[in-house]
Amino acid sequence: MDGPMRVLVTGGSGLVGRAIERVVKEGEGREGEEWIFLSSKDANLMSAEETRSVFQKHRPTHVIHLAAMVGGLFRNMRQNLDFWRNNVFINDNVLQTAHEFGVVKVVSCLSTCIFPDKTTYPIDETMIHNGPPHESNFGYAYAKRMIDVHNRACCQQYGRRYTAVIPTNVFGPHDNFNIEDGHVLPGLIHKTYMAKKEGKALQVWGSGRPLRQFIYSLDLARLFLWVLRDYDEVEPIILSVGEEDELSIKDAVNAVVEGMEFKGDVIYDTSKADGQFKKTASNAKLRKYLPDFKFTPFKAAMKETCDWFEANYDIARK
């Protein structure tokens, strides 16, 4: 491929998309490169025609594919068919149109939540298809897994090297902070904000003991760019801090409390479920490629996110 990249980012207005936009602006973009960040306002990617139009308009050489229908636990449980079908359409449209328009590389976004429900730990990149996913979001999970099937089949039939990344728990500015629908960290940040504002106690669901690996969206964004430029495998790659940096939910709560300067009581409602105790993912493959990559220290990343949320409360998605 001659000349600089023209990169189309689908789902560009989301948590990860905004982080990529920021790191590109702040120095990761190269001379002559063009970066286009799409949102659902620009095209409904469930439609083949609209997807084609947006590719015709921008003629990208590369694609970072983040767009998806995502939702919280309860919505997933009620609408497994919609999560399956809509995501399959989005993914097939983007991947097939990319191939037809001669896109050199597509990097899609999977998740550790799509891995087999019954599995050994730590999980690694070879294990995605080794058994059924958790019952609560199997529609979403299978649709994401099929991105990897499509990538492998596209390589086998056409030699394309489209690939995917597998983040663990992502957090940062521009997240979905809806307390019912959002994930654990944005949920904690929003609840702490409200507790502080209303002078009430912070109520945390569960015992605080489960362990998780968290990745700051800006670190993930830097890694996405490395994958786009330099990672040549079709097999996906887990992007996460190592097992040694697993934190308990209580550690996360303490970091949020510190980040928000919350002075009130913190109550752990142990009648609520903890969910899985450990979901450890191995980042050995990442470390093999990038032994020296430095993740932003968790407390600093959390402080940045809390500051952003307080400064942008009115426009935050919630």
Partner 1 sequence: MDGPMRVLVTGGSGLVGRAIERVVKEGERREGEEWIFLSSKDANLVSAEETRSVFQKHRPTHVIHLAAMVGGLYRNMRQNLDFWRDNVHINDNVLYMSQEFGVVKVVSCLSTCVFPDKTTYPIDETMMHNGAPHESNYGYAYAKRMIDVHNRACFQQYGLRYTAVIPTNIFGPHDNYNIEDCHVMPGLVHKTYLAKKEGKPLEVWGSGRALRQFIYSVDLARLFVWVLREYDEVEPIIASVGEEDELTIKDAVDAVVEGFGFKGEVIYDTSKSDGQIKKTASNAKLRKYLPDFKFTPFKAAVKETCDWLAANYDIIRK
Residue of 33, 50, 82, 243 interacting with partner 1 (CB under 8 A) = 82
Please identify, among the stretches 7-15, 62-70, 78-86, 274-282, the one whose residues bind partner 1 according to the rule CB under 8 A.
78-86
Asked if 19 contacts 174 with a C-beta cutoff of 8 angstroms, the reply is yes
> Residue 4, preceding bond cis, omega within 30 degrees?
no
Measure Cα distances from 125 to 43, 70, 241 in Å.
31, 22, 15
* Per-residue interface string for the shown chain with partner 1, residues 89-128, x marking contact by CB under 8 A: ---x---x--------------------------------
Instruction: Rule CB under 8 A: say whether 88 interacts with partner 1.
Output: yes
Among 30, 59, 78, 209, contact with partner 1 (rule: CB under 8 A): 78
Alpha-carbon span 61 to 103, nearest angstrom:
5
Return the bridge partners of 37, or none: 9
152 is a contact residue toward partner 1 (CB under 8 A) = yes
CA–CA distance, 101 with 185 (Å, rounded to integer): 38
Interactions with partner 1, residue window 157-196 (CB under 8 A): 157-158
Closer CB to partner 1, 88 or 189, in the complex:
88
Question: Smallest Cα–Cα separation from 178: which of 10, 22, 15, 18?
Answer: 15
Query: Of the two residues 85 and 161, which places its CB atom closer to partner 1 in the complex?
Result: 85
Per CB under 8 A, 85 contacts partner 1: yes
Q: How far apart are CA 81 and CA 83, in angstroms?
A: 5
Number of residues forming the site for partner 1 (CB under 8 A): 28
Compute the least distance from the CB of residue 150 to partner 1, in Å.
7
Q: How far is the CB of 35 from partner 1 (least distance, A)?
A: 28
**Should residue 156 be labelled a site residue for partner 1 when binding is judged by CB under 8 A?**
yes
Residue 149 binding partner 1, by CB under 8 A: yes
80 binds partner 1 (CB under 8 A): yes
Task: Give the one residue of 119, 130, 276, 312 binding partner 1; rule: CB under 8 A.
Answer: 130
Using rule CB under 8 A, residue 139 touches partner 1? yes
- Residue 131 lies near partner 1 (rule: CB under 8 A): yes
Residue 140 known to be catalytic: yes
| Partners of 212 in the β-ladder | 247
In the bound state with partner 1, the residue whose beta carbon lies nearer, of 150 and 279, is 150
Candidates 55, 142, 231, 309; binder of partner 1 (CB under 8 A) is 142
Tell me which stretch binds partner 1 (CB under 8 A): 31-39, 145-153, 174-182, 253-261. Answer: 145-153
Write out the catalytic residue numbers: 140
Q: Using CB under 8 A as the criterion, which residues of the chain lie in contact with partner 1 when the complex forms?
A: 77-85, 88, 92, 96, 129-132, 138-139, 142, 146, 149-150, 152-154, 156-158
